[in-house]
Amino acid sequence: MKQTIRKVIFTLMTIMLMSTQTIMAQTFVYPEYEDLTERIAVHFDGQRPTISDFATALLDYNSSEHDFFAIVNRDWKLYLQKKPLSTKAKITLDTKNGYLRYDTFYPEKTDTTFMEMCYWNCADGKHKLVCLNTVWVFENDYGWADYIGASFFLYDNAKKNLRMLYPEDIGALYEGDGLSVFFLPRKGKNIRVSAAGGGERWDEVLEWDGYQFHSREVK
């Protein structure tokens, strides 16, 4: 009798979960803005793009925006050609987990900068969310510059292009009176945030639900 009740409860919970996911898939729409109309084409071989394809598209797009991305783009092309990198840098490519990281090394300096990228499959089966994140570590703390921070892009599986999203559209806007630094997941789905405010610093997690993120403080 108890096993039967448990089976019924489990079945009902499964139906409710599936219904909730279906409703979200039917109602969740990523907004579009007049000032974010540009589309970035993603070229790839095979059935679907990999993190390498997203990196090539976004680094080509961003290389004209700042010298840092121009350097990364140059090294990325050398890496793909299996040639030595032009700077004191290291590239970590994890195609299986959809993660890429570029590290700079300057022994004579006390600061370093790294760029990382990853993507999430959206629950609607029609999109992927791609993030390009840059972090400046300065004297055991985090620094800020105009190229530092996380940018989010929505990939359309059918149109094969990317468009930028505002962080608040996906629950990834972190407001405070200090610097907040993102660390993307190489494994798993959640973003770690080192947040600052009121003279204090603490860690939070942005949990991915298939469409957007939800903040949770790490105790």
Size of the chain, expressed as the number of residues it contains? 219
Q: Residue 121: which of 112, 108, 130, 132 has the closest Cα? A: 130
Q: What average pLDDT score do residues 25-31 get?
A: 64
The answer to which of 2-6, 36-40, 125-129, 190-194 has the lowest mean pLDDT is: 2-6
Domain span at 66: 42-217
CA dist 123 and 149 (Å) reads 25
Number of domains observed in the structure of the chain: 1
For 62, the 3-state DSSP assignment is helix
With bands split at pLDDT 50, 70 and 90, how would you rate the model's confidence at 36?
Answer: low
3-state secondary structure 159-200: CCEEEEECHHHHCCCCCCCCCCEEECCCCCCCEEEEEEECCE
Residue 191 lies in a domain: yes
Render pLDDT for 98-123 as a digit per residue (tens, 0 to 9). 999 999 876 666 678 899 999 999 99
Structure tokens belonging to residue 2: 């108890």
Rounded-to-integer distance, Cα 195 and Cα 97, Å? 26
- The residue-averaged pLDDT of 135-149 equals 80
The residue-averaged pLDDT of 175-201 equals 80
Q: Answer yes or no: is 36 within a domain.
A: no
Q: Would the pLDDT of 31 be above 90?
A: no
Which of residues 208 and 65 earns the better pLDDT score?
208
- To the nearest 5 percent, what fractions of the chain are helix, strand and coil? 25, 35, 40
Rounded Cα distance between 60 and 93, Å, is 18
pLDDT bucket at 216, cuts 50 / 70 / 90: confident
- Kindly report, residue by residue over 81-93, the tens digit of the pLDDT: 999 998 789 999 9
Task: Kindly state whether residue 51 falls inside one of the protein's structural domains.
Answer: yes
Candidates 146, 147, 110, 150; CA nearest to 130 is 150
Between 22-31, 58-67, 89-98, the lowest mean confidence (pLDDT) is in 22-31
pLDDT reported for residue 2: 47
19 part of a folded domain: no
CA distance 177 to 197: 5
| Residue 18 predicted with pLDDT over 60 | no
Q: Which residue has the tokens 């530092």?
A: 148
Q: How confident is the model at residue 19 (pLDDT cuts 50, 70, 90)?
A: very low
Residue 29 within any structural domain of the chain: no
Rounded Cα–Cα distance for residues 66 and 141 (Å): 22
Residue 128 belongs to some domain of the structure:
yes
> Does the predicted TM-score (pTM) go above 0.75?
yes
